[in-house]
Structure 1
Amino acid sequence: MSNTIAAIATPLALGGVSMIRISGDEAIKIADRIFHPSRCDSLQELEGYSASYGVVFDEQGAIDDGMALIYRAPKSYTGEDVVEISCHGGIYITKRVLRLVIEKGARLAGPGEFSKRAFLNGKLSLTQAESIMDLINSKSEQAMRSSRAQMDGALYQKIEAMKTTLLNTAGHLAAWVDYPEEEIEEIREETLLKTLQDCEKQMNHLLDTFDTGKMLREGIETAIVGKTNVGKSTLMNLLSGCEKSIVTDIAGTTRDVIEETVNLGNVILRLADTAGIRETDDFVEQKGVELSLKRIRNAGFVLAVFDYSEELNEDDRKIIQEVIACNTPTLAVVNKTDLTQKINLSYINDNFKQIVYTDQKDPFSLQRLIDAIETVLEFHQIDLSDGMIANERQRSCALRTQQALKEAVQAMEFGMTLDAVTVSIDQAIEALLELTGERVTEKVVDQVFHNFCVGK
């Protein structure tokens, strides 16, 4: 099987330009068999980081004109010779050029195989490679900037610093225990304990970033709750920018949970417009109310909606008690402020730290709402340049590191032998090496890159 791979690296759809990427020892030779450059006789004459306009041809003659970009090993994305042929963005033409490349000696790349080669050739750490797909899938400015920081090595650098500290510590312990006759600096238990405690704190902090990173990438499960006819569906439609929920003056119109993902500036919300919470004899509506209460308990964020023009009743108070009991970040939305006030605002102020006032006729209501949501969720406090745990694989490795460091600290505090401490330190190092990909099974590597798109 050919060691040179090829794939379409742009979306397979109509567009101005498409690009076919080729990587491997034979990349330039294979490209030469289908591309005639205008500036020289052969692509093999071109230096790395150079390009030439030319013609893509087959046995019958020219089929398209385009550009060929040359990258020579090891100064390429994959660390191998790479050619990127850009042609016109027709679906047939793009597939035809790829077919020619395959016919001339390349094989079709698997999902993420270009990035996998970059990892295997030492161009990327595993955490950096994983951040590439996060960057591609970014749905907001903050998600993009966070992924970019991980691509630049923010997480890897933190792990590398901790790993170096633990490796030096383990090496010193091993030398001191194994070669007592040598003049090796004695291990000071207070210093060793502090080193381990500092590493444990750093790992605790990194694990705390997992929820933040997940929130940036995937959005926040958000429940819009309130009694019937307070304006939940209107709020859902306002945030969605379209009519997702039916809006009427009839109480109990929403019987089920209606969901939508929306991007509000720096925040991605996975909205759920729930049924109005009230006492009812309607069996179907009862089920909707049960779902609403369940949403409150499972949500990561709650928009609690109240009617400015009505007095608070038992249904309102039940919602407030439920939200307080869950201790979930909540924004109180006081709706219909264009009508005469009847609501007891003092009661709302006593129970909610953050309140926003809205009116569907007010064009500034949406921006006030977005600003209030960002304040409650404290997005302005997130350091996007900081290293973050990005996925479950990384989190699993970090948890194992945390547990090993905790055991090492406990061993020190319980007065156990340094051999026992060393065992725990070694376990922490193993988990960190797996996190960065320096010591990881082929199965894990395959699983990471299996989630990539073909051509990346």
Structure 2
Amino acid sequence: MLALKNTLDAVFAAGAVPAEAGEFTKRAFLNGKIDLTQAESVAQIISAQGDAELKASFNALHGVLSDEINSVLSRLLDMSALMAAWVDYPDEEIPELSETELEATLKEAASKLKKLLDNYESGQTITCGVDTVIAGRPNAGKSSLMNMLSKTEKSIVTHIEGTTRDIVEDSVRLGDIVLHLKDTAGLRNSDDFVEAIGIEKAYNAIENAHLILAVFDLSQELSADDFNLIEKCSGKNAVAVINKTDLEAKMDASIIEKAFGSTVYISAKNNEGLEELSKAVYNLLGVADFDSNAPLLANLRQKQNCRRAYESICEAISGVQMGITFDAINVMIDSAADELLSLTGKKATTEVVNNIFSKFCVGK
């Protein structure tokens, strides 16, 4: 270690400086080798947690998103130049752009951006994972489900009600999706002060979850606590997980099936039903048909630029339909083009660029 320290001291004394976060990728961007979306994909490749996320990030690095954005941008800039020339030099023999042609081109551009925006949420599900709460009454099998998903004894499992009092967390892969799991205290009325705190935490977790795995005990009749959970899940992304199929059924499962859009049957004890649960989660979250080869907006910055560009193009389409002047429409088109130039980094501010690369690992 001393030899290494002395070597580094000598190198720094000679004028060398330590590499900053993302320095090599930043140099590639500043030298025009890659655009900003490709630079951001480097960090995504490093942090990828699943095959689909890794493939989507590699595609972004190879320019799949850049090509889609640039194809829209090219058409907008061509239209803008033609309209500006036609407005500024009316006496010149410049081909006139018809309103029909202009509207069709704008609608095509809007359609491409709308598709990117529509795919954003499913892409985020793949790339960022899903905040998932496992909820249910005591002894429904929540902790057993947690252990089944995590493939470890993450949560303590006993026959004693109220065993889980605080939230137990883990991140697990369910196919290409990462679930950020929270195993919560059993939902019931409790006079135990500590358990009551855990139950309150469980309700807060349910309120803020992106996905709820609502666990019910098939071997017991539905209780007031079960109906309370059904109510809490109303209007939320929730899969009803009917557990303990290895025991005699005493519950009227049809009530659960009517209350939830998605219901699966499992035996967490026997590790049965995981494939059905995976399919239900994929379908509920809208990622069953996720195409990792398609261009994908990777983060909120890209989405915001794309959203503003899309809105400006929609305004331009409305303007054409209302018959407003071409110079006014051109302002809207230029606004959309500026947003797309910012998205790819050709017009990004220094603050935006520095913020992006500050999140990289040292070097890279």
TM-score by length of 1: 0.74
Q: Distance in 2 between matches of 1:361 and 1:288?
A: 24
Matched, 1:121 2:31: yes
CA distance in 1, matches of 2:6, 2:248: 68
Does 2:211 match 1:301?
Answer: yes
Structure with greater proportional strand content: 1
Quote the Cα distance in structure 1 between the aligned partners of 2:5 and 2:344: 36
Amino acid at match of 2:40: E
- Alpha-carbon distance change, 442 to 145 in structure 1, aligned in 2, over 3 angstroms: same
What residue identity is the alignment partner of 2:240? A
Among candidates 252, 262, 267, match of residue 359 of structure 1: 267
CA distance in 2, matches of 1:92, 1:452: 29
Give 2:102's aligned residue: 192
The aligned counterpart of 2:241 is: 333
Structure having greater relative contact order (Cα 8 Å, sep ≥ 6):
2
Q: How many angstroms apart in 1 are the aligned matches of 2:89 and 2:256?
A: 70
Matching residue of 1:236: 146
Q: In 2, distance between residues paired with 1:441 and 1:125? A: 14
User: Which amino acid is the alignment partner of residue 427 of structure 1?
Assistant: S
Q: Which residue pairs with 2:42 in the alignment?
A: 132
Mapped contact 2:122–2:286 kept (Cα < 8 A): no
1:268 aligned to which of 154, 178, 181: 178
Corresponding position of 2:21: 111
Kindly provide the amino acid, as one letter, of the partner of residue 36 in structure 2. L
| Partner of residue 66 from structure 2, selected from 156, 173, 184 | 156
- Larger of the two Rg values belongs to structure: 1
Spell out, residue by residue over 1:40-99, the C-alpha distance to the aligned partner (whole angstroms, 9 max, x if none): xxxxxxxxxxxxxxxxxxxxxxxxxxxxxxxxxxxxxxxxxxxxxxxxxxx888777766
Q: Which amino acid aligns with 2:62?
A: D
Considering fraction of residues, name the structure with more helix: 2
Of 147, 154, 157 in structure 2, the residue corresponding to residue 247 of structure 1 is 157
1:362-419 C-alpha deviation (Å, 9 max, x unpaired): 2444445444433443433001011111112212212221232232223223332222
Matches within 5 A, 1:8-19: none
What amino acid is the match of 1:392?
Answer: L
- 1:209 alignment partner, one of 92, 114, 119: 119
Is the alpha carbon distance of 1:344 and 1:139 closer, same or farther for their aligned partners in structure 2, counting shifts above 3 Å? same
Q: What's the counterpart of residue 11 of structure 1?
A: none
* Number of residue equivalences: 364
1:265 is displaced (CA, Å) by 2.7
Q: Specify the SS of the correspondent of 2:133.
A: strand
Within 5 Å, give how 1:27-176 maps onto structure 2: 102=12, 106-176=16-86
User: Which string of whole-angstrom CA distances, capped at 9 and with x for unpartnered residues, describes residues 143-169 of structure 1?
Assistant: 111111111111111110010010011
Residues 100 and 376 of structure 1, relative CA distance in 2, 3 Å threshold: farther
Select between 185-194 and 225-234 the one with higher mean Cα deviation: 185-194
Are 1:453 and 2:361 counterparts? Answer: yes
CA distance in 2, matches of 1:100, 1:115: 26
Helix, strand or coil at the partner of 2:39: helix
Task: Render the CA deviation track for 1:101-142: whole Å, top value 9, x for unaligned.
Answer: 656654322111111110111111110000000000001111
Matched residue type, 1:303: L
Which amino acid in structure 2 is aligned with residue 189 of structure 1? E
- Post-superposition offset of 1:428: 0.8
Cα separation, 2, equivalents of 1:351 and 1:199: 41
CA 1:199/1:252 → structure 2, altered by over 3 Å: closer, same or farther?
same
Cα shift at 1:358: 2.1
Deviation at 1:445, TM superposition (A): 1.4
Hey, what does 1:433 align to over in structure 2?
Answer: 341
Partner of residue 188, structure 2:
278
Counterpart AA for 2:108: D
Query: TM-score scaled by structure 2?
Result: 0.91
Shift of 1:450: 1.2
Q: Aligned in 2, Cα 1:269/1:344: closer, same or farther, shift over 3 Å?
A: same
C-alpha distance in 2, partners of 1:207/1:94? Answer: 50
Distance 1:92 1:208 in 2: 56
Aligned equivalent of 1:45: none
State the SS of the aligned residue for 2:288.
helix
Identical positions, percent: 42
**Pairing partner for 2:301 from 389, 393, 414:** 393
What residue identity is the alignment partner of 1:185? Answer: P
Equivalent residue for 1:289? 199
Taking a change above 3 Å as real, the CA distance of residues 225 and 451 of structure 1, as seen in their structure-2 partners, is same
- Distance in 1, matches of 2:167 and 2:317, equals 48
- Could you tell me which runs of 5 or more consecutive residues in structure 2 were left unpaired when the two chains were aligned: none
